[in-house]
Amino acid sequence: MATSLFSDIPAALTDPILGVTEAFRADTCPTKVNLGVGIYQDAHGKVPILESVKKAAAIWAATEDTKSYLPIDGVPTYNSATQELIFGKNSAALSEKRVATIQTVGGSGALKLAIDFIHRFFPESTMYVSDPSWENHRVIFEAAGVKVDTYPYYNPSTNGLRSEEMLDALRRLRPSSAVLLHACCHNPTGVDIDADTWAQIAAVCEERRLLPLIDCAYQGFGAGLEDDAAPVRAMAARGLTFFVASSYAKSFAMYRERVGALSVVTGSAKEAAVMTSQIKRGVRMIYSSPPSYGAQVVSIALTTPDLRILWERELSDMRARIREMREVFAQKLAVAIPNRDFSFILNQNGMFSYSGLSAGVVRELRERYHIYALDSGRICVAALNHNNVDSVCAAIADVLKVS
Ligand code: LMR
């Protein structure tokens, strides 16, 4: 065989989140638990297909009449329903046609299109992400050639937000700096920004002429569809220009269909048209045009009144189950580990809990108990159920040597 051209290529590092799922899949222990990846599981540990999705898919199967390409910016009804979900029915920005929305390959595709645009048109911009943030934010942004830095966010000693330090840091940024913000259900900490701090962030973004990119991957998993979008709506109402990367992976449990969108809130209808043209160009350079299935199904579910009601109920059931398991988890940890305060878990939102467990504890949980979490201590509360929560809490107690 001729000498391989690939013989000197080093292996890439294992992904800190999806790599945990790979290790979990390879584990043959029947009692294994995956608290790593952010995926909702029902009370029986199954990743459900929502009824609203099944019904919308049946409608789509009966009506699809071509496999021709979609437009570069995707399914028009999907884009308009997405805009309305994020910005609200009465949004002035929408009625003024100042928002450009484009279907993307998942929320990650939206982040990639936004950062490519920033790199091209604001080449001096650094992207600031919260400390900590979703691991893949930095990876996507740096791969686009943009320098990434952090702003203070989580305070491990209070398990809360470093609001003042965060605002001070944002006030010191150079104009046109990009800032990644999580709309709700902060990944990985579960610690969200309160309304007062959001208002101050918006004011700083305006004064300093910063470029916010809001990651809105968990709308509906915090306080509800409307409340979770409130920070985005307030920024739009203030007249700020910014990006929103959104995803239906979680809210429709359509993880593998890669259904996302990038919205750009601009200064005028004319600007929105220009931004659409630029983002479309970005799409063409990466994957040419988007896939159809997931967006068609979501579009049908969002725009068919009875399916919309069904979906909102299913989403609210998922939110309630996660909330219940968060409470059960905190209570059981308090009983199993009485000398340690876990009450902060109750103040966190969404799928995740930043548990405060060290990488060493996480490793022991995996090696001794086949319980998988992230090295950061992030636990997916949405993967807990009444059948596994006792053993998870007992294992944590044992590893912390208090049982
Ligand atoms: C997560 O944070 O676990 C999810 O967003 C899945 C992923 O792709 O990392």
Contact between 261 and 294 under an 8 Å Cβ cutoff? The reply is no
- Between the CA of 38 and the centroid of ligand 1 the distance, in Å, is 5
**pTM: predicted TM-score of the whole model, two decimal places:** 0.96
Kindly state the percentage of the chain with pLDDT values over 90: 98
Catalytic residue among 55, 73, 112, 134: 134
CB 176 within 8 A of CB 122: yes
40, 112, 134, best to mutate for ligand 1 pocket (most atoms within 8 Å of CB):
134
- Is 198 one of the annotated active-site residues of the chain? no
pLDDT value of residue 395: 97
Look at strands 211-216 and 154-155 and give their pairing. Answer: unpaired
CA of 59 to the centre of ligand 1 (A): 30
One-letter amino acid at 361 equals: V
Q: Which pLDDT score, from 0 to 100, does residue 223 have?
A: 97
* Beta-strand pair 211-216/371-372: unpaired
Structure tokens at 224: 């509800």
For residue 142, what are the CA distances in angstroms to 14, 134, 145, 206, 235?
Answer: 17, 14, 5, 25, 26
Give yes or no for residue 250 having a pLDDT over 90.
Answer: yes
The alpha carbon of 16 and the centre of ligand 1 are apart by a number of angstroms equal to 10
- The pLDDT, as a whole number, for residue 401 is 83
Q: Is the pLDDT of residue 330 over 90?
A: yes
Reported as a single tens digit per residue, the pLDDT across 356-381 is 999 999 999 999 999 999 999 999 99
Res 402: pLDDT: 56
Name the more confident of 2 and 72. 72
> Considering the chain, what is the average pLDDT of its residues?
97
pLDDT at 403: 44
Answer yes or no: 194 catalytic: no
The residue to which tokens 């992230």 are assigned: 374
Phi first, then psi, for residue 265 (nearest 5°) are: -90, 120
Question: For 380-402, what is each residue's pLDDT tens digit?
Answer: 999 999 999 999 999 999 999 85
Q: How crowded is residue 63: how many other Cβ atoms within 10 Å of its Cβ?
A: 9
Give me the pLDDT at residue 1, please. Answer: 73
Give the bridge partners for 380, in sequence order. 352
Average pLDDT over residues 335-341: 93
pLDDT at 297 exceeding the cut of 60: yes
HSE at residue 155, side-chain half, CA atoms within 13 A, is: 10
What Cα–Cα distance (Å) separates residue 325 from each residue in 255, 342, 387, 392, 397?
A: 21, 14, 11, 12, 18
Q: Render the burial of 337-367: b for 16+ CB within 10 Å, e for the rest.
A: beeeebebbeebbbbbbbbebeeebbebbbe
Task: State the DSSP H helix or E strand holding residue 211, giving kind and residue range, or none if neither.
Answer: strand 211-216
Which residue lies with its CA nearest to atom 5 of ligand 1? 38
Closest CA to 185 of 381, 372, 399, 41: 381
Q: What is the largest CA-CA distance in the chain?
A: 66
Give the other-Cβ count within 10 Å of 330's Cβ.
Answer: 20
- Residue 315: its pLDDT value, please? 98
- Is 215 one of the annotated active-site residues of the chain? yes
* Confidence at residue 139, expressed as pLDDT on a 0 to 100 scale: 97
Mean pLDDT of 34-56: 97
CA angle 204, 346, 228 (to 5 degrees): 45
- Helix-strand-coil percent breakdown of the chain, rounded to 5? 50, 15, 40
Beta bridge partners of 54: none
